[in-house]
Structure 1
Amino acid sequence: MTTLVTGATGNTGRHVVRELLERGEKVRALTRSPAAAVQVLPSGVELVEGTHTAPKTVSFEGIDRLHVTVTAGLAEVGPELVQRAVDSGVRRITVVWGGAVGPTEEAIADSGVEWTRVEPQEFMSNTLNWVDSIRAEGVVREPYDLPSALVHEADIGAVAAVALLEDGRSGRAYNLTGPQALTPRERIALLSRAAGREIAFVPMTHEQAVDRLMATGVSREDAEYVIGWYAAPPAESATVVDTVERVTGRPARTFEQWVAENAQRFQ
């Protein structure tokens, strides 16, 4: 059996690919640039060109299982992607949600095939947004200092792999967190020790944070949504759950582990 992983070089997709390959599974990785993907993905994966936001570029020939990560631009075409997959014979789908149950998530749940929705809270890799200011100035600027039970992307990939391969996971939605809820200041303290340099927390206003995000090309509506989430995060975002351990059989990775893996990027 072969699994198609969309967004295969993304934050979570690459971990799904790696987990499946380590279990001896056949994996087809969908990517806009197969040549670049060679540098990111492990050997043994079949690389195919295409993107899940353009369903007609995706071939499901020989595919039994599908992994989808909901990203920007998928809401309008996600249902078409799902229908093409089902019509082609895909019988099991996992989806990493986009932070809420939208059109793609709904289409998968209504598809008539086995499905599992993976609902991670904040990704540990969001910390990489601090790289430039840390390296240039030794500071992190954020508007809020509230706790978040960040989850390691590798744990998201591991849970998705289990759901793809094991029976009895259909119809479930897995809320995922890491083992601790940490504020930005607490994360910065851990980064400072690992990077061997002092890093300061500098508060900024809500509007400054919105403007900063808009400067990257994000619309005001989307920027307000993102910063608004940090201003008033849902209770689930700071509530530690043991889903990773229950599904995979091992404890969720800590933020300290993530920092050890990425410390050199902040130096």
Structure 2
Amino acid sequence: MTLLVIGGTGTLGRQIVRKALEEGFQVKCLVRNRTKATFLKELGAKLVYGDLSLPETLPLCFKEISAVIDVSTTRSDDVNTLKEIDLNGKLALIKIAQLAGIKRFIFFSILNAEKYPDIPIMKMKKEVEESLKISGIPYTIFKVAGFYQAIINQYAIPILDKQPIWVTKESVPISYIDTQDVASICLKSLLNKRTENETFFLGGPKAWVSKNIIEICENLSGQKAQLKLIPISFLKFARKISRFFEWSLKITERLAFIEILEEKEFCSNSQKLYEIFDLNIDDFLKLENYLEEYFERMLNTLKDLKYEQTFKQRDLKV
């Protein structure tokens, strides 16, 4: 089976490409910039040029393709760019997949996207989901709440660098998951007929609030986090004010995500996933273990750097 991966250079995409190659799949990666995707070629994937903002570049990418895995999301504050790529580009992708007779289309969406039509990326994800469902293409949709990898930039690195972490008094439990676990399940779904035309929530074994994550990071790093409290009421006020100014439209879009902070929890029932894939909680990497491995690696690296600097300073004095 030959796969076309959209978003192979991303955090999750690269794990899917690596895992697919290890399991014997032929993999093609749609890329705009071959230089930035060189590491995918070194892994064994074939790079094919394609740009979601230029639908005419897409048809040739589907040559000899059996399945599509779309894990891409534009990192842009420009709503027009988002619409061009994350909506129009994805809809064009689905139409071409129809014509190409693709046997499976796997799409990664965001949990509860249908509940937040005021958040552009959420609205677009939902529209793509609906388009895929009526396309006639055998599909599998995975909805994700968050990845362990995002926690590193949000909490771990600021603590190590002694930088402030901005938090709100309200903290919604989020079911994060490791990208390697996601990649494994994604590829298994290609070979499981029961996953055809189904939607699954992909989350880890436990939902976490920011307070508990910060405590783990503090214990593992041996450093105290510098917390800065910001009220949700202030964020709401800032969002309302920013709507009146053209220059602040990008800020408004970011502040739209404050709605999620008022959720009771940002997770869902995974029972259907466990049953179809014959999984249990112990099959997933726990966040505690992920962070423990990260901090052990980083602290050892910092020790080595400090050791080298000490000897360099001694050499200079001599």
Same fold by TM (over 0.5)? yes
Residue 255 of structure 2, aligned match among 224, 235, 238? 224
2:284, 2:41 → 1: CA distance?
23
Flag the structure with higher helix content.
2
2:203, 2:211 → 1: CA distance?
19
2:48 counterpart residue number? 48
Q: Which amino acid aligns with 1:103?
A: E
- Alpha-carbon spacing, 1:64–1:51, altered in 2? closer, same or farther (3 Å): same
Aligned pairs for 1:1-267 (under 5 A) are: 1-39=1-39, 43-58=43-58, 59-69=61-71, 71-72=73-74, 73=82, 74-99=86-111, 100=113, 102-127=126-151, 128-130=153-155, 133-143=158-168, 144-206=170-232, 207=234, 219-230=250-261, 232-233=262-263, 235=265, 237-239=266-268, 241=270, 245-246=274-275, 247=277, 249=279, 251-263=283-295
With 257-266 and 59-68 compared, the bigger mean Cα shift is at: 257-266
2:216, 2:171 → 1: CA distance?
15
Q: Secondary structure of the equivalent of 1:102?
A: helix
- Alpha-carbon spacing, 1:42–1:179, altered in 2? closer, same or farther (3 Å): farther
Q: Secondary structure of the equivalent of 2:180?
A: helix
Q: Is the 8 A contact 2:9 2:40 kept in 1?
A: yes
Q: Structure 1 residue 223: deviation in Å?
A: 1.6
**Which protein shows a greater Rg?**
2
- What percent of counterpart residues are identical? 20
1:43, 1:158 → 2: CA distance?
17
Q: Structure 1 residue 97: deviation in Å?
A: 0.8
Q: Which amino acid aligns with 2:92?
A: E
Q: Structure 1 residue 113: deviation in Å?
A: 1.8
2:228, 2:171 → 1: CA distance?
10
Q: Secondary structure of the equivalent of 1:145?
A: coil
**1:182-216 CA deviation, whole Å, 9 max, x = no partner?**
1111111112233332224332233459979x9xx
**1:8-51 CA deviation, whole Å, 9 max, x = no partner?**
01122112212211211111112232222233676121122333
Aligned residues: 262
- Alpha-carbon spacing, 1:190–1:242, altered in 2? closer, same or farther (3 Å): farther
| TM score, norm. by length of structure 2 | 0.72
Q: Is the 8 A contact 2:66 2:102 kept in 1?
A: yes
Q: Secondary structure of the equivalent of 2:270?
A: coil
Q: Is the 8 A contact 2:160 2:223 kept in 1?
A: no
- Alpha-carbon spacing, 1:32–1:129, altered in 2? closer, same or farther (3 Å): farther
- Alpha-carbon spacing, 1:224–1:49, altered in 2? closer, same or farther (3 Å): same
Q: Is the 8 A contact 1:32 1:51 kept in 2?
A: yes
Q: Secondary structure of the equivalent of 2:62?
A: coil
- Alpha-carbon spacing, 1:191–1:132, altered in 2? closer, same or farther (3 Å): closer
Unaligned runs of 5+ in 2: 75-81, 114-124, 243-247, 303-318
Unaligned runs of 5+ in 1: none
State the superposition RMSD in angstroms: 3.0
Bigger RCO (CA 8 Å, 6+ sep): 1
Q: Which amino acid aligns with 1:228?
A: E
